[in-house]
Structure 1
Amino acid sequence: MYDIREADYPMRPRERLAILGEKYLSDQELLAILLRTGTAKSSAVELSGQILRHFETLENFRRSSIEELTQIPGIGMSKAIEMRAMMELGKRIQTAERERQGQVKGAQQFAMTLIDEMSDFDQEHLVAVYLDGKNKIIKKRTIFVGTVNSASANPREILHFAVKTLAAGILITHNHPSGDPRPSDADVVFTERMENACNNIGITLVDHIIVGHKRYFSFQESGLMF
């Protein structure tokens, strides 16, 4: 894997993409196009192979920092910055496709967007999504960054903005940096408090979604909400 050499194909990656289309190119060839140039000892194709072998998986490569990229011979600050920009743009394009809907149609659909947005966070982020009567998104608001517990996750702060925006419903979400989306005891207690507080003022708590690594947990889907 990732050991294509310049001489392995009669055409260079740019020519192959122009004639065959991007779907027919390997990961190594696509990265070589973005690199544009190699080094004195390696072509762009060979350098892209070295990069992908170094990180072993595309997921590791996607999460790589500028500092980690510049440790690879042939990757200077300029190329590292360009690759980070490319990866962030790709992430935003993927997220924008779902965000255009502007509506929460179900836990699975919305959780995919949340995984794109939150799975890389090193700390827990608690986010409230305010919805109208048709579950269209009015506003997303980060409530705090830290560990979800009864002291820091106060329903009053969340509901204050809900009343201000005349929201009919709220969807709460937070991430688990460990990658395991299963709820803790504190998560369960917080969800119960939020549901009771919402019921008291006539606002629907639509769901509480916990985001992990490529996985999610929905309190609504799991039958833990009424």
Structure 2
Amino acid sequence: MADANDGPVWARPRPAPRRQAPSVERIVERSIAIADAEGMSAVSMRRVAADLGSGTASLYRYVRNRDELVELMVDAVWADELPEPSGDWRRDLTTFARSQRDTLLRHPWLSAELTGRPTFGPNVLRRSEAALAAATALTPDITLASQVVGTVLAYVRGAVAAEIAERLAHLRTGLTQEQWQRSLGPYIRGVVESGEFPHFARRVVEADEPPAEERFAFGLGCVLDGVAAGAAGSAWTAARRLDR
């Protein structure tokens, strides 16, 4: 018979809180604050316990190791509620994508924690359910709907990674993007004047630099156009096969 304490952290009963001991909510909240301020490398059971004025052993009553603590952290940051679905798949997936972006930007450590096996905490499951519900308004095929959600998530994470990389470059060099671009001015002028890279030269001389929000919206629109076309094409292919 399986022990009640086996399985993922979500499936195990939580021990009753002890007097003066931090709750699991406080433990997770403090862990997230440390990660937001200093990065995930600063999060350890010892550090969190010290910040809470508690013994490390009190943390181990709730989580067996740091990996379980990270699972709780990842789930907790997705606690914000999404609006009620509108029934319009494009509007709902846009809302979902923007919410994902906002959360990832608030917690720069989070993207790296999403690259491995997924966590299945209650907040993550609620978000997944909302995204799949939006996608099934586009296509009732759950396999295709899942691929649609995966494609949207891949775009969001890639776009956010570029934004976070710029933030980190600013912190590392002390230069804003504009200051960095000015520092390259003489070199870029030489590249433009060489005539060897005419399209790059046009981009430097003629192209605007839209803000990050505008770039994200444009890319997301392209992705949604693409998944709509892809879902329609896949449905047509499946119908053709059934006719044979």
TM-score w.r.t. length of structure 2: 0.29
- Greater helix percent: which structure? 2
When Rg is computed on C-alpha atoms for both structures, the one with the higher figure is: 2
